[in-house]
Amino acid sequence: MQTMTSEQLQEIKKRTTSDLSLHEGGIRAKINLHMGTCGIAAGAKKLQALILRNMEEKGIRDIRMIHSGCAGLCSREPMVTIESPGLPPVKYCDLNEEKIQEIFDRHVVNGEIVAAYALAVEEHPAEVTTREKPVLPDNVSRLNEIPFFKHQVLWALRNRGLIDAENIDEAIANDAYFGLAKVLSSMTPEQVIEEVKTSGLRGRGGAGFPTGSKWEEGRRYSSFPKYVICNGDEGDPGAFMDRSVLESDPHAVLEGMIICGFAVGAHQGYIYVRAEYPLAIQRLNVAIEKARSYGLLGKNILGSGFDFDIGIYPGAGAFVCGESTALMYSLEGKRGMPRIKPPRSTEAGLWGQPTVLNNVETFANVPAILRNGGKWFASIGTKGSKGTKVFALAGTVKNVGLVEVPMGTMLRTIVYDIGGGVSGKRKFKAIQIGGPSGACLPTSLLDTEIDFDSLDAAGAMMGSGGLVVMNDSTCMVDTARFFTDFSVDESCGKCVPCRVGMKLMLNILNRIAAGKGAMEDIGLLERLGRHIKESSHCGLGKSAPNPVLSTIRYFREEYEAHIQEKRCPALVCTDLIAFRVNADKCKMCGLCKKACPTEAITWEKKTPAVINPEKCIRCRSCIQACTFWAIE
């Protein structure tokens, strides 16, 4: 292992930047394949094989192919970005093998943009200075004009889809480890903590605890060894920000952890990652190994005398391990059951020693704060929440993907401008924020600002940042039941309110969904929910009733329809559906017949469809197929 100095870091940056530049590197084209989990599932590996085959067959060697992480717009994967001399970088989307072949022949070989498949062109800040400004074609949009990208501010995701995640030089060329170099060469731990406090950074894992204060507390205790833990146990269904950050920019997280270690006086860090994220684990492993070989991790980092090392610990599949004390028990090889605080983890955490635990996104924000100063970070955001927040936007929305917006952005901007509104012919009904600990918010609350405190006031929670858009075919009682079922499953069972109370709530919801509920049940759910929130030990129990309480608060009429009219307005709860075609509404299109797996539907042209109840298995395929709400 060598010892690297800050000067050498600068040299690597300079060298890599010029290597990467088409002009100086003598490269015909740079093909950037976006290979996050989403891209790979959408078929990016096939495209990779095809490009390699083409290069071999045509004897082309002067192409640089890199594998970066997700570019953010997951619903348009697979995507590639191609740069060739004289042209701006072009992002192509919705690719398949035929399209990539055409792009290879026309763009890579002949230097001509294939406008038909292009999503947008970007302006390249680094290259413009070295040669004439490229002429942007008229028939392709600019990346910063596309609404999905226009409203985003990329800080934590600054390197997303830009750099080869397994190449440390590229990370360094994009300023990785320069924050660390500054810290080790010119700052005291107290100054680092002060800078983080100035930035106003709050924990991105959900609860929003001020990061600087946590570090300060961790520093105060003088019991050694101390530990730094990165929480990558992203268990919220509907959230995938941490996965994407780890897959596309692992060095930012490592750098954040080392800086934290320096600030609190720890020499060992652990990253706890969900076992469901194999690609993230692989890329982290590569990143750690490379950082060690560069002397950026291990003994005597950057010649400063400071030692810090990081280990990876894959989780074993338990949602509750996202709770900090449970996570530490899990790291110790025990059942992941939270314990009562105090003492806080900063006093007695892993193995009973002072431990500072932060979320992946929190650590990813740290290097830039140290590079640019806390004031820079605090320059955007709201009074109580500074900087940006990454959200995983999913559900029935047109543009699905990863978005990063300044704190204080309206939910409406995310759903309609960035997300492009609800997909298909359905209408917006609710937005679920914060997963099983969060809430379903209706249209009237779309003007809520993204901010820890205003979400709290709406009965929701920032959570880790899952945003699931739901349309009018989603039943709110069923949604509440879904999350309650989740919490019942994932409750560790240690304390009674959560273990028994949530089960009782689930029973009541099941009763309502089956059409056997009574009006008193609504009040009972509200009372139970309040008690569970007040008396549970950990964050899971304290927030588990939120989905039920919020749906009652904002969609009470749906509960009442289930109970009083024995009707599920969204046609989801199968016990309350007649499975009968309303001849007045039927447009006689025959889509339901095609969808039926048991041939229970008879339909002729120009006659309404009829469902045979004996053959019907109540699978709802016909309801999903029908666009006219003709099935009751």
Partner 1 sequence: MSRVEAISADEWEKIDQVIAKYRGRHGSLIPVLKEGQDICGYLPKEVQRRIAAGLHLSPSQVYGVVSFYAFFTTVPRGKHIIRVCLGTACYVKGSQQILERLEQDLGLKVGGITKDRKYSLEAVRCLGCCSLAPAIVVDDDTHALVEPAEAVRIVRSYE
Peptide bond into 342 cis (omega under 30): yes
The one segment of 72-80, 86-94, 160-168, 559-567 that binds partner 1 by CB under 8 A: 72-80
Nearer to partner 1, 382 or 621 (CB): 621
* 584: Cα separation from own chain's centroid: 44
Instruction: Return the residue matching tokens 């038909």.
Output: 116
Is the separation of the CB atoms in 61 and 111 below 8 Å? no
Reading the block at residue 24, the tokens are 């100086």
Indicate whether 575 belongs to the interface with partner 1 (CB under 8 A). no
B/e letters for 414-425, b = 16+ CB within 10 Å, e = fewer, are bbbbbbbebbee
Q: Which of residues 473-502 bind partner 1 (CB under 8 A)?
A: 474, 479, 482-483, 486, 489-490, 492
Only one residue has tokens 């400071």, namely 306
Q: Which is nearer to partner 1, 59 or 333 (CB)?
A: 333
Tokens describing residue 207: 């609860």
Task: Please report whether residue 17 would count as binding partner 1 according to CB under 8 A.
Answer: no
Contact 263, 211 (CB under 8 A): no
Residues 580-609 that bind partner 1 (CB under 8 A): 597
Site pattern 270..289 for partner 1 (x: CB under 8 A)? ----xxxx------------
If the CB atoms of residues 31 and 467 are measured against partner 1, the closer one turns out to be: 467
Look at phi and psi of residue 298 and say left if phi exceeds 0, alpha if psi is from -120 to 50, else beta.
Answer: left
Return the number of other C-beta atoms located less than 10 Å from residue 87's C-beta.
20
Nearest to 355 by CA among 327, 321, 374: 327
Smallest gap, in angstroms, from Cβ of residue 380 to partner 1?
Answer: 26
Q: In the sheet where 309-314 sits, what is the strand order?
A: 309-314, 268-273, 227-232, 355-359
Segment near partner 1 (CB under 8 A), from 18-26, 195-203, 228-236, 555-563?
A: 228-236
Closest distance between partner 1 and the C-beta of residue 530, in Å?
Answer: 24
Kindly state whether residue 238 participates in binding partner 1, applying the rule CB under 8 A: yes
292 vs 310: CA distance, rounded Å = 10
Strand partners, 272: 231, 313
Which is closer to partner 1, CB of 202 or CB of 274?
274
Query: Which of 258, 297, 470, 581 touches partner 1 (CB under 8 A)?
Result: 470
Return the residues of window 74-93 that contact partner 1 according to CB under 8 A.
74-75, 77
Residue closer to partner 1, measured from CB, 72 or 539: 72
Stretch that binds partner 1, among 57-65, 129-137, 214-222, 393-401 (CB under 8 A): 393-401
Q: Applying CB under 8 A, does 354 fall inside the site for partner 1?
A: no
In whole angstroms, give the CA distance from residue 179 to residue 495.
43
* Distance in Å from the first CA to the final CA of the chain: 70
Asked if 394 touches partner 1 (CB under 8 A), the answer is: yes
Q: Is the peptide bond before 225 cis (omega within 30 degrees of 0)?
A: yes
Site string for partner 1, 128-167 (x = CB under 8 A): ----------------------------------------
Q: Residue 43 CB: number of other CB atoms within 10 A?
A: 15
* Closest of 550, 557, 555 to residue 529, by C-alpha: 550
Which residues in 531-560 contact partner 1 (CB under 8 A)? none
Q: Return the number of the residue (372 or 621) whose C-beta is nearest partner 1.
A: 621
> Rounded CA gap, 202 and 220, in Å?
19
**Residue 516 Cβ vs partner 1, minimum distance, rounded to whole Å:** 21
Q: Is 69 in the site for partner 1 (CB under 8 A)?
A: no
Which of residues 88, 381, 466, 517 is near partner 1 by CB under 8 A? Answer: 466
Burial class (CB in 10 A: 0-12, 13-18, 19+), 373: middle
Alpha helix positions (H), 37-118: 37-41, 44-57, 97-103
Shortest separation between residue 560's beta carbon and partner 1, angstroms? 22
Angstrom distance (rounded) from CA 531 to CA 502: 11
Is the distance from CB of 434 to CB of 411 less than 8 angstroms? Answer: no
- Strands of 466-471's sheet in order across: 401-406, 388-395, 466-471, 428-433, 439-442
Smaller CB separation from partner 1, 38 or 184? 38
Nearer to partner 1, 401 or 529 (CB): 401
| Strand bridging mode 63-68 / 29-34 | parallel
CB of 123 to partner 1, least distance (A): 26
- Kindly state whether residue 435 participates in binding partner 1, applying the rule CB under 8 A: yes
Residues 34-53 that bind partner 1 (CB under 8 A): 37-38, 40-42
The least distance separating partner 1 from the CB of residue 64, rounded to whole angstroms, comes to 27
Q: Is the Cβ of residue 237 or residue 373 nearer to partner 1 in the bound state?
A: 237
Whose Cβ is closer to partner 1: residue 236's or residue 323's?
236
Binding site for partner 1 (CB under 8 A): 37-38, 40-42, 74-75, 77, 234-240, 243, 274-277, 314-319, 330-336, 351, 392, 394-396, 400-401, 432, 435, 466, 468, 470, 474, 479, 482-483, 486, 489-490, 492, 597, 619-621, 624
